[in-house]
A and B are shown apart, each in its own frame.
Chain A
Amino acid sequence: MMSLACRSGALTPQLKATNVAVSGTLKALTPGIFNTSENVKKALNSKTRPSCVTGCAGVRFAHTDIKIPDFSDYRRPDVMDPNKSSQDSSESRRVFSYVLTGSTAVVGVYAAKTVVTQFITSMSASADVLALSQIEIKLADIPEGKNVTFKWRGKPLFVRHRTEKEVAAELAVDLSQLRDPEHDNDRVQNPSWVIVLGVCTHLGCVPIANAGDYGGYYCPCHGSHYDASGRIRKGPAPLNLEVPYYQFPDEDTVVVG
């Protein structure tokens, strides 16, 4: 009983046919052929004796049938010539790319910051509200002893031009007798001008000027008496009238707020 090779001698390979299903790296393959008609003609013109044809394997002879497209439209002039080394121009190409990318990044970051800031600041107070936040008062129009009321930030603002007598009286008040002890100098910048919010600290009514037992203000709602400095003297209110922030840009004007 002898082997097939031995039995059939020289024509043994022709008595069987082999096809490779998955080509391993050890088998020699004839170049695979694909569906286009030129390639079939090319294979048929080759004089090699067929031994086996590839199956669906990962072998593909890229140098014969895959055409690499022409990318010259997209190439930089430095690398247009395939025969020239690209190392010479590599640094300049790299620098250009990096500078371009870097500057784009910087500009991009700045733009992003601007956009974000604009969106966030849109949530803050609008201009008309900000405009209402300050009030400028001409002091020359207010005579001595008179209390003028202005509307400021939705609340009444009392501006009182105090007489010398009132100033002296306020300075002489004993702090230990006050419910909310505060010296007059702490409440006014210029002693002849008292600027306070006209909101009673008890329950928010507006006190009446030049009324009450202490020569200041009297709140009619519950009977709180304030003095000429706006300090509480008698009545249910717990605190003195609030003093807002103000400044005198010059002799004749005061800016409150």
Chain B
Amino acid sequence: MKGIRPLNHLSRRCYVAARRSSLTEPLSVNPRNAPSKPVFQPQDIQVSKLPSGLLIASLENYSPVSKIGVFVKAGSRYETPDNVGLTHVLRLAANLTTKGASAFRICRGVEAVGGSLCVTSSREHMVYSAECLRDNLDTVSEFLFHVIAGPEFRPWEVSDLTTRVKIDKAMASQCPQIGVVEKLHEAAYKNALSNSLYCPDYRVGNVSSDQLLSFVENNYTSGRMAVVGLGVKHSVLKQMGEQYLSIGRGAGVPGAKAVYRGGELRMQSSDGLVHALVASEAAVTGSADANAFTVLQRVLGAGPHVKRGANISSKLSQGIAKATTEPFDATAFSSTYSDSGLFGIYTVSQFDAAGEVIRAALAQVTAVADGGLSAEDLDRAKNQMKAESLMSLEASEGLLEEVGAQLLASGAYSSPEAVLQSIDSITSSDVVNAAKKFVSGKKTMASSGHLVNTPFVDEL
């Protein structure tokens, strides 16, 4: 009976009854019948430069998720004194209406394919990154390029961002580290790098769409951009770069050179914990000195290496533990920019022990500057640096950021092997010189909390 096919095939469905052998031995699989696995060769990062000055880099990592990051030299250092706080609004304005797509369409279109679009800004760079499944890359990258190349900044949409700016600021004020880092930069520099990542209070609601448009026009030029794609074909990325991002020829408006002044900013509050950051001018990104400062940072202790650990074995912690019994934390802080850098110590302590903690931390650095650097400390620091640098490249966010930052800083990408070699080439005297530079340089300090026992920078 044709209609009752399942009944006819009943015997085929009785798998258990059909099995004649027990499953204590593995089934033999004929290798000729086994499906062949595709073999993927690991690829290298390909970098090229378009005639418009745009740098393109891509890596085929065979991931089902594609990520595109567009790095623009338009960080907060490029704000002029009459448009401070603009980059904060610009960061929030990534989902506003553009010439090619409305705000609703961007949000809906990106969400419909399950992608995401986010903006990160640092003092040097503005990074627009989008990620989505490989097949939907066209859709999401189209929106990404609309946002970068054709924003309209409609005045009513920009004024709607005011609430979000306030929320951002409110949430940033909850994090004392952000406050201290921002104040440090404000105290350390006279211009450019002193601009905060967050909009100052007097400018909230006063950033106009004309200012945004002129900033974008001056700074978002192909010569100051790099496009990095992970899981994207190089040819595809090049074609996209040519099609969408040939905006503004040349290098655009060069930023002002940051002038270090060294000052102090104290934020008195009733918080029982004092967060203090003491720094002095260090090396520029990419120089050999910068590597030495980073090794010095690791020598002194740069954050716990064990999850939920306290890093009590770092030099700083051991030195401070002799000075006080109250809870504290200390790490070395280092940041480098294209024309300057900062290196220092960040301490968190109880307000009554703040002075001892800061002085003990600085004494540790002075000890290194006086030559107190053992070979095993140096090795440990170098190994930690190598491990951290390689581990940060394992995740796609870290890799994207790394490639983009390198492209914008030097125009080329140096492989991890080169980085490891440069770490290996650092000697003990480099590190000692770096520590000496810190000790002898003009110091900047930023502190927050109940500052009754916190020394001023000229007392250190």
Contact = CB atoms under 8 A, between A and B. Distances in A.
Asked if A and B are interacting partners, one says yes
Nearest to B92: A19
Contact of B167 (A25, A27, A53): A53
Given A20-B116, A49-B175, A10 B331 contact: yes
A10 to B, nearest CB: 3
B294 to A, nearest CB: 6
B424 interface: no
Contact of A11 (B119, B285, B304, B333): B333
Contacts of A101: none
Interface stretch (B102-110, B224-232, B259-267): B102-110
A1 B178 contact: no
A14 B122 contact: no
Given A4-B405, A9-B333, A25 B392 contact: no
Contact of B164 (A22, A43, A53): A53
A19 B91 contact: yes
A4 B95 CA distance: 26
Contacts of B402: 3-4
Contacts of A52: 118
A101 B106 CA distance: 46
Contact of B119 (A6, A18, A56): A18
B393 interface: yes
B167 A6 contact: no
Contacts of A5: 388-389, 392, 398, 401
Contacts of B194: none
B389 A6 contact: yes
B346 A11 contact: yes
B60 to A, nearest CB: 21
B120 A22 contact: no
Contact of B294 (A6, A11, A56): A6
B363 to A, nearest CB: 20
B170 A16 contact: no
A187 B286 CA distance: 130
A250 B351 CA distance: 130
B435 interface: no
B267 to A, nearest CB: 15
Nearest to B393: A3
A2 B118 contact: no
Contacts, number: 168
B273 to A, nearest CB: 14
B334 A7 contact: yes
Given A2-B294, A6-B389, A14 B114 contact: no
B118 A20 contact: yes
A40 B170 contact: yes
A154 interface: no
Interface string B375-411: 0000000000100110011000010011001100110
B422 interface: yes
Interface string B271-296: 00000000000000110001100100
Contacts of A57: 107, 111
A8 interface: yes
Contacts of B198: 17
A49 B398 CA distance: 21
A10 B331 CA distance: 7
A30 interface: yes
A35 interface: yes
Contacts of B115: 22, 24
Given A2-B291, A8-B333, A30 B410 contact: no
Contacts of B460: none
Nearest to B126: A16
Nearest to A13: B177
B174 A19 contact: no
Interface in B318-347: 331-336, 346
Interface in B86-114: 88, 91-92, 94-95, 103, 106-107, 110-111, 114
A55 B92 contact: yes
A223 to B, nearest CB: 88
Given A24-B114, A26-B116, A43-B171, A55 B303 contact: no
B111 A22 contact: yes
B414 interface: yes
B281 to A, nearest CB: 15
B177 A21 contact: no
B207 interface: no
22 contacts: A1-B285, A1-B410, A1-B419, A2-B385, A4-B401, A4-B402, A9-B298, A16-B197, A19-B119, A20-B118, A21-B94, A21-B117, A21-B118, A23-B116, A24-B111, A24-B117, A25-B116, A40-B170, A43-B170, A50-B172, A53-B168, A57-B111
Interface of B: 88, 91-92, 94-95, 103, 106-107, 110-111, 114-123, 131-132, 147, 163-164, 167-168, 170-172, 174-175, 177-178, 181, 197-198, 285-286, 290-291, 294, 297-298, 302-304, 331-336, 346, 385, 388-389, 392-393, 398, 401-402, 405-406, 409-410, 414, 418-419, 422-423
Identify the 8 closest CB pairs spanning chains A and B, nearest first: A24-B116, A10-B303, A9-B302, A21-B94, A50-B171, A16-B122, A21-B95, A3-B402
Given A7-B290, A15-B335, 6 more contacts: A2-B290, A3-B392, A5-B398, A6-B385, A14-B178, A24-B132
